[in-house]
Structure 1
Amino acid sequence: MDCLWCNEEIILTMTWSNFLLLPTQRALCVNCAEGLEIISGSRCSICSRSYDEAICPDCQKWRKQTNGEDIILKNYSIYTYNTAIQAMITKWKYRGDYCLGDIFKDSFIKSFEDVFGFLAKESVLVPIPLSQERLNERGFNQAKMLTDFLPMEKREILTRVHGEKQSKKTRYERITAQNPFSLNETVKKVVILVDDIYTTGTTLRHAARLLREAGCPGVYTFTLIRG
């Protein structure tokens, strides 16, 4: 199999485990995989930002805006936003290279099982949607692709109004933006919102607020990258 990023052939190192069993296929060669930086060490318990204390200053500010309780219970992100993953994400979602999403499949499934496995039977996955215009541009919704990796109940119950790309907005513009979502149906289970990247957390909190106001008992968020 060739590396999905550099197209070089992946040479498997022979060990007793993969000699006796079928070797596990890898999406990336060793060199490309080493470019992805998994978040390690201390992190904010709410947003997954690398931080030495339990709650980072940004999440403390969010709590003040909601009378001491954040609208999301916890976000978990897998990777740090570095140069390598930025290039992969750009080609994957902005240039329509759908197959590149498979680079993240194994880590996304494993991290979900490790962090959210206890919720699997009593929760529902909801991908953050694109506007119809943005979906037409890209051809697919990267959040839905990530959600489809996970073998549990999913519902596409949010609709997004078309607007300027989040990547074009300043931090202040993101935080102060109006809620771009509408809710198509209520959910009485715990929801795990899925998106590719957590930057300021505004997008996820907009969606979470709609869900909570409609009677959802709790909202977690699961993202590939912590920006």
Structure 2
Amino acid sequence: MHCAICLTEVTPVFNWTYLFSREPSYYICDDCKHKLAFIEGERCIICSRPLADLDDVFIKEKRCNDCWRWEQNPKWKGVLEQNTSLFLYNDFLKEVIARFKYRGDFEIAGAFSIFLSKELFANKIMVPIPLSKERLYERGFNQAEAIVQAAGIKAIDCLTRVHSEKQSKKTREERLETVPIFKVAAEESIVAQNIVLVDDIYTTGATLRKAAKVLKEAGAKSVISFTIAR
């Protein structure tokens, strides 16, 4: 057995829990686990941003200032009800995700899948954020879809991209524009359903909100999201 991130040999701890549980498909060594910065403590109730990192002036009603501003806009209020992120996007995770997305280290999806909470996804439909055709061709796979597959959780591809420009390269005012970047390909699959959007990184929240907006407009009952990094 080896670590899915650094490939070092991993020896599982043989105890009663191990003996009576199904052997996991992937492992992470203690060294890599310690380099992952788990998000802990009080978070923004919408985006999972650690509130301890913010001055009180940037916190309003248990929301970070960014989410509070999103919620003040009638076009975006309540569109994305909550985001859950696992880790802070530190230098170690930045390198790991780069290997995963841009160098085709597909097994890293298994490392991330270990931390997916089945409770979060219970009675919900998983929808990976899609890539543009160009980026899918370049990478060979959708990283969000790969994480879900590695966890053995069923997902549906009901979203397609109609615009491929990176949201992180835009100003806040440009991100707030309602030009759609997604469309729903199979509306009947999400009508009256609770949806979980899956992506690798929560950066500004614009991509997830634009996806949530078209899902809500197509009849989804609720939309939350899950990302590996924040």
Aligned 8 A contact 2:148 2:154 in 1: no
TM-score by length of 1: 0.84
Matched residue type, 1:100? I
- The yes-or-no answer on 1:140 pairing with 2:144 is no
- The yes-or-no answer on 1:38 pairing with 2:32 is no
Aligned-pair CA distance for 1:170 = 4.8
Give the fraction of aligned pairs with identical amino acids, expressed as a percent: 39
- CA distance in structure 1 between the partners assigned to 2:162 and 2:147 by the alignment: 21
Pairing 1:178-189 to 2, within 5 Å after superposition: 178-186=179-187, 187-188=190-191, 189=193
Aligned-pair CA distance for 1:166 = 4.8
Aligned-pair CA distance for 1:176 = 4.2
Aligned-pair CA distance for 1:25 = 6.5
Aligned 8 A contact 1:181 1:206 in 2: yes
Matched residue type, 1:105? S
Pairing 1:13-24 to 2, within 5 Å after superposition: 13=13, 15=15, 18=18
Aligned 8 A contact 2:114 2:151 in 1: no
In structure 1, runs of 5+ residues without a counterpart are none
Matched residue type, 2:164? G
- CA distance in structure 2 between the partners assigned to 1:22 and 1:215 by the alignment: 38
Aligned-pair CA distance for 1:75 = 0.8
- CA distance in structure 1 between the partners assigned to 2:31 and 2:128 by the alignment: 31
The alignment covers a number of residue pairs equal to: 218
Pairing 1:71-220 to 2, within 5 Å after superposition: 71-108=79-116, 111-113=117-119, 116=120, 120-121=122-123, 123-150=124-151, 153-161=154-162, 163-166=164-167, 169-170=169-170, 172=172, 175-176=175-176, 178-186=179-187, 187-188=190-191, 189-220=193-224
TM-score by length of 2: 0.83
Q: CA RMSD in A?
A: 2.6
Q: Secondary structure at the match of 1:37?
A: coil
Aligned-pair CA distance for 1:161 = 3.0
Aligned 8 A contact 1:157 1:183 in 2: yes
Q: Secondary structure at the match of 1:98?
A: coil
- CA distance in structure 1 between the partners assigned to 2:211 and 2:7 by the alignment: 38
Aligned 8 A contact 1:132 1:162 in 2: no
1:95-151 CA distances to partner (integer Å, 9 max, x unpaired)? Answer: 11111111111101xx342xx25xx23x21111000111101001001111222455
In structure 2, runs of 5+ residues without a counterpart are 53-58
1:33-88 CA distances to partner (integer Å, 9 max, x unpaired)? Answer: 11011110000111101015521111110111127832111111111111111111
Aligned 8 A contact 2:201 2:227 in 1: yes
